[in-house]
Structure 1
Amino acid sequence: MSDETTSTPGTAFMLVKTTPEWLAKTVEERVHALTTEVVPVIEARTTGVRSRFYDTEFYSARVTDVWVWEAEDHHAYQLLVDALRETPFWDRYFEVVDLLVGTENGYARTYGVDAVTTIST
């Protein structure tokens, strides 16, 4: 399966809200839960994904964090979600509020044009 649809890198913006169970943990317990219950499952089930995390609870009551997942292709992203759903991350520590998945500059690839970008100095 190596057509353009499955081999195009994708980025998922996973909008989540912390649960009372997560907030009841100490910072040390949270780090331990992520490093022992979540990350090993992701690493065992998929490759080609990178994550970044953004705190948004200062500005939003509905979404407390945005987890950005960059996947080398659709299959890697699918395996990631399948793995997350088998951990306490999904609906126990965090409520997944929304998933926004896209491909960077997909229009440029589709139409064979240069991506429009900005550079501010």
Structure 2
Amino acid sequence: MPVEATKTPVTAFMLVKTTPEWLALTVQERVEAFTTQVVPTIKSRTSGVRSRFYDTEFYSTRVTDIWVWEADDHAAYQLLIDALRETPFWDRYFEVVDLLVGTENGYARTYGVEPVTTINT
């Protein structure tokens, strides 16, 4: 069965490491930097993206945080990355260690089969 012609949601696991500049900010300054410098840029440049944040510095020295970005489609994801690169987030406050990007159950769409999952739907 051919791949669906509809939009395919994209999930990106962005593995980042905090920089000394970010750590030098107070908690309030960090919140302000994110809400005034990062969020408005994302909102003005793209739509259809959501994010969740996970702290990993307790368990890893190479990656201190994982940011999970969900985008409605590949175009929204590309606009998100372009927007982030124009903020202090990218390579100033955080070093982007790796990007792991995929589509949930892509194989199921490609082959026209039900996804194998342990989640009850």
**1:5 to 1:85, Cα distance in 2 relative to 1, 3 A:** farther
**Gaps in structure 2 of 5+ consecutive residues:** none
Instruction: Find out whether 1:20 has 2:6 as its counterpart.
Output: no
Tell me the distance in 2 between the aligned counterparts of 1:62 and 1:6.
Answer: 37
Shift of 1:4: 4.8
**Gaps in structure 1 of 5+ consecutive residues:** none
Q: Sequence identity of aligned pairs in percent?
A: 82
Tell me the distance in 2 between the aligned counterparts of 1:93 and 1:4.
Answer: 39
Count of aligned pairs: 118
Secondary structure of 1:107's aligned partner: helix
TM-score, L = length of structure 2: 0.93
1:58: which partner in 2? 58
1:70: which partner in 2? 70
**1:5 to 1:55, Cα distance in 2 relative to 1, 3 A:** farther
1:82: which partner in 2? 82
Tell me the distance in 1 between the aligned counterparts of 2:6 and 2:96.
Answer: 24
Tell me the distance in 2 between the aligned counterparts of 1:109 and 1:25.
Answer: 45
Tell me the distance in 1 between the aligned counterparts of 2:100 and 2:107.
Answer: 17
Tell me the distance in 2 between the aligned counterparts of 1:54 and 1:31.
Answer: 15
1:34: which partner in 2? 34
1:43: which partner in 2? 43
Measured on the aligned residues, the alpha-carbon RMSD in Å equals 1.6
Tell me the distance in 2 between the aligned counterparts of 1:25 and 1:115.
Answer: 44
Tell me the distance in 2 between the aligned counterparts of 1:35 and 1:18.
Answer: 17
The 4+ residue runs of structure 1 with deviation greater than 4 A are: 3-6
